[in-house]
Chain A
């Protein structure tokens, strides 16, 4: 069995974001980077599946981006992936989800992966399109927003998070692709021996030009902070007085009491 996990390195959301010079994405200055949260669930699930199947599957982790993404690749290797592919692309942030999916699909198409796992979306761009698009290009079934996963004899049973707190269960025959959501699992903390071992695992570097053959379908034209509209108001004082003032404001400025 061959498994592929696709991960992305994203800036920590507590960082201070500023537009880059071109004004089409954020600048890298002063940003701290980490593995996309949803991708961590994907890595964890893949490693658990590998453990369930007695270490038999070969687990490949793939990430697209500049040299710094090797950091998250190493983390995935330390968590238990066997080998890695780094698609080298200093301008990955300018590619649209269609192009990113095309790159992954181009890499995966001849590799015979039985299962592909991705995060349900990235924390920075948040398009939630890459996983499903990869499945579409490869022509394999796909289930999104997994909060439960089990595998038995060539069938994935996926518990999906739906709207309004509902859950749905679907079964997919492999080869298949799933995207992972918060709540699926708690990613492990890599142990020191595994961190050491990860240093010796293979990271194959592939220039993006070898895999990318398609043009973007959606182009980001501008990146900026939302315009400031009004400001918060902190009321202080006696409770009875506060109630009167809140009612006043609600009547005056909103439609809720009309």
Chain B
């Protein structure tokens, strides 16, 4: 007997008309649901996110089908991915049935669901159904019984779980009843290829054909209407993520990480800077709220959330959606809360991990721009003072600008002037210029360059703050003022290459200054040293030490420089013990986003939390690569009460102590 089955057995082929009618209605309700959401997105400003379309489509297909973003966190990403693949297979199975029964057979007279292919089809769908059920069970346990911290459960979760469970179960029941009536007895060989159906079918063996027929019809229709309900419910429940999250992969930001729109300050027609209301954000910012699946991965990684500050990146994104839908006229910053907005360290852990390609950070920065540029607001008076100091003296400490180059006295460094012969310009930044502890970074970097025979120049008292903290606090005006002065100088001196020891300066000069006309290669000292070592210009004599390493946000997540610093430290004799949160998953030191100027008044201290993580590795030494991090960790070691148990040092110090010869 040929392996196949009668499609529409018992219900009869006549159901197709009703079936298609209801399917169209369900699809119509679904489409209507999305259609009515379009005006919500349209409140936002225009933004082009369909350029480089082939690249975008490829990214979307990969993220969807391979579940690559979801799987970056295996628990519960694996459950979701397996459920997705199973459900997708069941969907394909349904499409095959439709193609076979409603098109291929009646129109073309072709039967393809037969023989070996039917066997494969039958077995795969059964396995897929079973797997989907299992994964759903796992997800249900996580959702309702073993709840992880911070998981929000709403009406949608009950609806979605109930729908999916009942769709799969009724499917198996319909199959089981059909098999009890037509297959288990007549073709036990074939029945074995539907193992789950066989299991369900056992329950119905021995019932009369009339009862089976009635039961099958009822189950079939229930299954059908549940499936239609599923389709119709998509835009009205969290199920919408099937479309919105996929679309968000298509709309993803393809620019350099952390790129922020440079405001045109010359345009006098602009009267609103930053986002005061929902219409000042882009449509994508609003759409992000619909793409969010509430998976809370961002929240789990947010240093502000972890230390009891009012910010949760997830809730912030969802709040924007809520405002867009319900109170679009509302004052955005006040509705969300200034404390929420000022809590962000722009560490980008949220955005890096987001499986839905939501862009959290720039939303916060656009709202901060409104607070700063339109309302003259600050997270605290100490920040106001620091900003005032940058305005007057070009550094947040308020120290004499003329003293900026004093750290280099007695060192082999040229202070730039026209025609100065140097290989690289060292853009020192405020902390290595003025802060006593951080001056060690500067001095040791020079020592390293001297050993490699690199001629280094600095701008000395002409250098100004790169403007990064001001920019991240929303003060685009001050940022562009100091940036313009730095750029003019760098251009005037005909600089060919810039090296920074600060990842914040690095990002700003390498990426942000491009918008303002600087086009000189910029490198962070870690990759620069790595290059010197590769070229054999710099030789180290390794001396053993045990350490753990902190990836600064602006070097790791923003610039993807993760391996080079570890390799340098290894070659210097270091034996690394990694913290759980390292690399792209690193936990911020608390100083990003201009928070270096701000007192941490709410919740516990982020730097203390990070120092504690370092201490837990058992390593006696924490190595960092950023002046802000060094500052925060020196402080965190003291205030966290682990003095004497762990020290913090900069990579430059470790290397400079191990120079060969």
Contact = CB atoms under 8 A, between A and B. Distances in A.
Interface of A: 12, 14-16, 30, 32-34, 186, 188-193, 195-196
Interface string B351-395: 000000000000000000000111111100100100110011110
Given A189-B376, A192-B273, A193-B374, A16 B392 contact: no
B403 A12 contact: no
Contacts of A193: 271, 273, 373-374
Contact of B393 (A12, A188, A190): A12
Contacts of A195: 477
Nearest to B369: A192
Interface in B301-350: none
A95 to B, nearest CB: 24
B400 A189 contact: no
Nearest to A200: B268
Given A193-B271, A195-B477, A14 B400 contact: yes
Contact of B374 (A15, A186, A192): A192
10 contacts: A14-B398, A14-B400, A15-B402, A16-B400, A30-B461, A32-B394, A33-B392, A189-B378, A189-B387, A193-B273
Contacts of B388: 34
B399 interface: yes
A75 to B, nearest CB: 9
A189 B390 CA distance: 14
B374 to A, nearest CB: 5
Given A189-B378, A191-B373, A196-B268, A30 B477 contact: no
A189 B374 CA distance: 10
Given A32-B392, A191-B374, A192-B374, A14 B477 contact: no
Contacts of B172: none
Given A14-B399, A16-B403, 9 more contacts: A12-B393, A12-B398, A14-B393, A30-B400, A32-B393, A191-B374, A191-B376, A192-B374, A193-B273
B401 A32 contact: yes
B376 A15 contact: no
Contact of A189 (B268, B384, B402, B461): B384
Contacts of B392: 12, 32-34
A186 B384 CA distance: 11
Give me the 10 closest cross-chain CB pairs, A-B, nearest first.
A189-B376, A30-B402, A192-B373, A34-B392, A15-B400, A32-B393, A32-B392, A14-B400, A12-B392, A191-B376
Contacts of A196: 268
A186 B376 CA distance: 12
Given A14-B393, A196-B268, A32 B400 contact: yes
A188 B400 contact: no
Give chain B's interface secondary structure class. helix
A188 B402 contact: no
Given A30-B400, A34-B392, A196-B268, A190 B376 contact: yes
Contacts of B375: 191
A175 to B, nearest CB: 31
Q: How large is the interface on B (under 10, 10 to 19, 20 to 34, 35 or more residues)?
A: 20 to 34
Nearest to B387: A189
A255 B393 CA distance: 43
B281 to A, nearest CB: 18
Question: Which of B273, B373, B476 neighbours the largest number of chain A CB atoms within 10 Å of its CB?
Answer: B373
A71 to B, nearest CB: 10
B240 to A, nearest CB: 38
Given A16-B402, A16-B403, A192 B477 contact: yes
A239 B469 CA distance: 42
Interface in B517-539: none
A30 to B, nearest CB: 4
A13 to B, nearest CB: 9
A34 B392 CA distance: 6
Contacts of B394: 32
A191 B387 CA distance: 14
Contacts of B403: 16
Question: Which of B271, B273, B374, B401 neighbours the largest number of chain A CB atoms within 10 Å of its CB?
Answer: B401
Interface string B259-286: 0000001001001010000000000000
Contacts of B271: 193
Nearest to B268: A196
Question: Which of B392, B403, B477 neighbours the largest number of chain A CB atoms within 10 Å of its CB?
Answer: B392
Contacts of A32: 392-394, 400-401
Contact of B376 (A14, A33, A34, A188): A188
Nearest to A192: B373
Contacts of A186: 381
Contacts of B373: 191-193
A15 B403 CA distance: 9
A16 B377 CA distance: 31
B400 A12 contact: yes
Contacts of B400: 12, 14-16, 30, 32
A189 B372 CA distance: 9
Question: Which of A16, A30, A189 neighbours the largest number of chain B CB atoms within 10 Å of its CB?
Answer: A189
A30 B271 CA distance: 37
A77 to B, nearest CB: 15
B556 to A, nearest CB: 33
A134 to B, nearest CB: 27
